[in-house]
Amino acid sequence: MPHITSASKGVFVIAVTPFTDTGAIDMASIDSVTDFYLETGAEGLTILGMMGEAPKLTQSEALAITKQTLTRTGDKPVIVGVSGPGLAALGELTKAVMGMGAAGVMVAPPMGLRTNEQITGYYSQVIQTIGTEVPVVLQDFPLATDVRLSIGALGQIIEAHPSIVMLKHEDWPGLSKISDLRKAEADGRRRISILCGNGGIFLPEEMFRGADGAMTGFGYPEMMVEVCRLCDAGDQDRAQDIFDAYLPLVRYEQQPGVGLGVRKYVLAKRGVIASAAQRNPGTPLPPAAVAEVERLLARQTKRLHELS
Question: Taken in order 199, 119, 137, 63, is the CA torsion positive or negative?
Answer: negative
Least distance between a second copy and beta carbon 5 (Å): 27
Binds a second copy by CB under 8 A, chosen from 22, 75, 99, 115: 115
Contact 86, 117 (CB under 8 A): no
Contact 190, 158 (CB under 8 A): yes
Task: Give, as ranges, the residues between 121 and 150 that touch a second copy (CB under 8 A).
Answer: 121-122, 125, 128-129, 148-150
Using CA atoms, how far apart are residues 259 and 251, in angstroms rounded to an integer?
9
Task: Give, as ranges, the residues between 175 and 234 that touch a second copy (CB under 8 A).
Answer: 175-176, 179, 201-202, 205, 208-209
Q: By CB under 8 A, is residue 22 in contact with a second copy?
A: no
Stretch touching a second copy by CB under 8 A, among 41-49, 116-124, 185-193, 226-234: 116-124
Stretch touching a second copy by CB under 8 A, among 32-40, 55-63, 218-226, 267-275: 55-63
Binds a second copy by CB under 8 A, chosen from 88, 99, 188, 305: 88
Residue 179 region by backbone torsions, left for phi larger than 0, else alpha for psi between -120 and 50, else beta: alpha
User: Which string of b and e fits 53-79 if b means at least 16 CB within 10 Å?
Assistant: bbebbeeeebbebbbbbbebbeebbbb
Amino acid at residue number 144: A
Binds a second copy by CB under 8 A, chosen from 34, 240, 272, 297: 240
Stretch touching a second copy by CB under 8 A, among 30-38, 114-122, 160-168, 187-195: 114-122
Using CA atoms, how far apart are residues 229 and 86, in angstroms rounded to an integer?
39
Name which of 65 and 103 has its Cβ closer to a second copy.
Answer: 65
3-state SS assignment for residue 78 = strand
Binds a second copy by CB under 8 A, chosen from 133, 188, 271, 288: 288
Q: Is 188 exposed, middle or buried (0-12, 13-18, 19+ CB in 10 A)?
A: exposed
Beta bridge partners of 4: none
Name residues whose C-beta falls within 8 Å of residue 272's C-beta, 6 or more positions apart in sequence. Answer: 29, 32, 33, 35, 36
Least distance between a second copy and beta carbon 266 (Å): 16
Binds a second copy by CB under 8 A, chosen from 1, 27, 57, 274: 57
Q: By CB under 8 A, is residue 71 in contact with a second copy?
A: no
Name which of 33 and 293 has its Cβ closer to a second copy.
Answer: 293
Stretch touching a second copy by CB under 8 A, among 6-14, 37-45, 50-58, 131-139: 50-58
CA-closest candidate to residue 127, choices 101, 153, 105: 105
DSSP type of residue 107: E
Residue numbers of the site for a second copy (CB under 8 A)? 55-59, 61, 85-89, 92, 111, 114-118, 121-122, 125, 128-129, 148-153, 172-173, 175-176, 179, 201-202, 205, 208-209, 236-237, 240, 244, 247-248, 251-252, 255-259, 279-281, 286, 288-289, 292, 295, 299
